[in-house]
Amino acid sequence: MTTQHFTIKELTEAVQGDVTPRMVRHYHTLGLLPPAQRSQGNYRLYTQQDVQQLQRIVALKQQGFQLSHIRQLLESQSDTTDNPALMAQLQQQYRSVMQQLTRLRHTATALEGLLGRDRPGQQVQAEVLAQLKHLDVDAQDGLGQLDQLWNRLDAETETHPEAFQESLQGLLPDLSHYSEISAHLLRQLVLACGDVSLINFVRWSPDAIAAARQALKDGCSIVTDLPAIAAALDHTRLAHLGCAVEVLIQDPHVTGVDAAEQAFWNDPAWKQRLQDCPEGCIVVVGYAPSVLLTIGQFIAQQQIRPSLVIGMPIGFSHAPAAKRRLMTLPIPHITLQGSLGGGLLAAVTLNALVETVIEKPDCHCYLTRR
């Protein structure tokens, strides 16, 4: 049987994923792809195996793996997880990535210190920027000069309260393609954690905002996984809307992520309470990943029908998996990719939605924009 061959252009078309011939040649250089056969005219020829290998590379890149990680994974001789050498290499690379993130966080903090100034501090900001250009870093007192500049900026903060919305204007990405309702939600999440990059990890279904507003206007029930989230909700506004708050794991001794996870696994009563969630409720999960996983199962089995799921548990294996599953379900949802999350952010999400329902009941901007 004759082996089917592909030119480099046909290879990229077969794989798709925005792969270019130049990228393929680069993968050859890195050893991610084996040397290709050559035609009589010295053109590279590829087989179906090469198509599959390139598809693996593209898929792993889309999941966030760097090319060095991908090469190690593809070169691994073991098809099992019992590969200490590979795991040690990946752990070392993880530490390296975390060190890079730390350095970038320091850079971001310095830039925030300059750019995140409200109007009263902008005059000092301009003066500091002018002096930074003339900083003599080779001089003995170079660091001392830098400290004095930061001290001037810090001293300015003692003269007035911070205007958070003004500070955010210089730091937030362009939110003009978001609706007014959505942009307000994103700003509230940033203010809750102090990390502007969080915006890049927020995910919601196209119908999430509309479903949330309609459910809240109808006085839906709110179901949280722990009392800590219920305590952080805006009960005054919820009462105005006629929304009652229910707590799934009603144990005062369960206050954190680990305890919530273990409690849900060890006591079948909590799973039964989850099955009894009122139809059309809004479920808010900020702690136990297994609660969100079980919600996904119940929704897929049509055992529960919430109007919206706010899924933001913290965790490093179960939480990302639960969120990925949530995003595949035909249910309105709002979540944070990866391990990011927590009860405060989950509560802030619902509070922001409740606030805009009451303050802007007739706003329909979310119907035409994200």
pLDDT tens string 35-78:
888 888 888 999 999 989 899 898 888 877 888 888 888 877 55
Into how many domains does the chain fold?
Answer: 3
**Mean pLDDT of all residues in the chain?**
87
pLDDT beyond 80 at 147? no
Q: How far apart are CA 208 and CA 248, in angstroms?
A: 22
Asked if residue 80 has pLDDT above 60, the reply is no
- Residue 331 in any domain: the answer is yes
142 and 233 in a single domain? The answer is no
Same domain for 250 and 316?
Answer: yes
pTM, to two decimals: 0.80
Candidate from 68-82, 83-97, 192-206 with smallest mean pLDDT = 68-82
What integer pLDDT is reported at residue 109 of this predicted model? 83
**pLDDT given for residue 170 in this prediction:** 80
**Which among 75, 100, 129 is the end of a domain?**
75
pLDDT at 217: 97
Are residue 68 and residue 124 in the same domain, yes or no? no
Grade residue 351 by pLDDT with cuts at 50, 70 and 90. very high
pLDDT band for 322, please (50, 70, 90 cuts).
very high
Assigned domain for 209 exists? yes
135 pLDDT band (50/70/90 cuts)?
low
Q: Minimum mean pLDDT among 235-244, 253-262, 322-331: which range? A: 253-262
Predicted pLDDT of residue 146: 66
Question: What tens digit of pLDDT does each residue of 246-291 get?
Answer: 999 988 888 889 999 999 999 999 999 999 999 999 999 999 999 9
Q: Is 265 inside any structural domain?
A: yes
CATH code assigned at 213: 3.40.50.10230
**Residue-range definition of the domain harbouring residue 35:** 8-75
The domain boundary, picked from 56, 75, 94, lies at: 75
Q: Examine the domain organization and report whether 302 and 345 are in the same domain.
A: yes
DSSP strand pairing (308-311 vs 333-336): parallel
How confident is residue 142, by pLDDT bands cut at 50, 70 and 90? low
Distance CA 227, CA 87 (A): 38
If asked whether residues 159 and 269 sit together in one domain, one would say no
Q: 189 with 329, same domain?
A: yes
pLDDT exceeds cutoff 90 at 313: yes
Residue 302 and residue 161 share a domain: no
| Range from 3-17, 112-126, 127-141, 248-262 carrying the lowest mean pLDDT | 127-141
Beta bridge partners of 204: 334
Residues 283 and 330 both lie in one domain = yes
Cα separation, 101 vs 190, whole angstroms: 18
Report the CATH number that the domain containing residue 62 is assigned in CATH.
1.10.1660.10
Does the pLDDT of residue 140 top 80, yes or no? no
The fraction of the chain above a pLDDT of 70, given in percent, is 92
Mean pLDDT calculated for residue range 84-90: 78
Indicate whether 118 pLDDT > 70: yes
Phi and psi at residue 241, to the nearest 5°: -85, -10
Across the range 304-329, mean pLDDT stands at 96
Q: What angle do the packed helices 180-193 and 208-217 form, to 10 degrees?
A: 90
Q: Is 222 helix (H, G, I), strand (E, B) or coil?
A: strand
The mean pLDDT of 217-244, rounded to a whole number, is 97
**What does the CA dihedral 275, 276, 277, 280 come to, rounded to 10 degrees?**
100
Q: What is residue 60's predicted lDDT score, i.e. its pLDDT?
A: 86
Residues 359, 223 share a domain: yes
Q: Are residues 362 and 285 in the same domain?
A: yes
Please give the structure tokens belonging to residue 179: 């609706």
pLDDT value of residue 153: 72
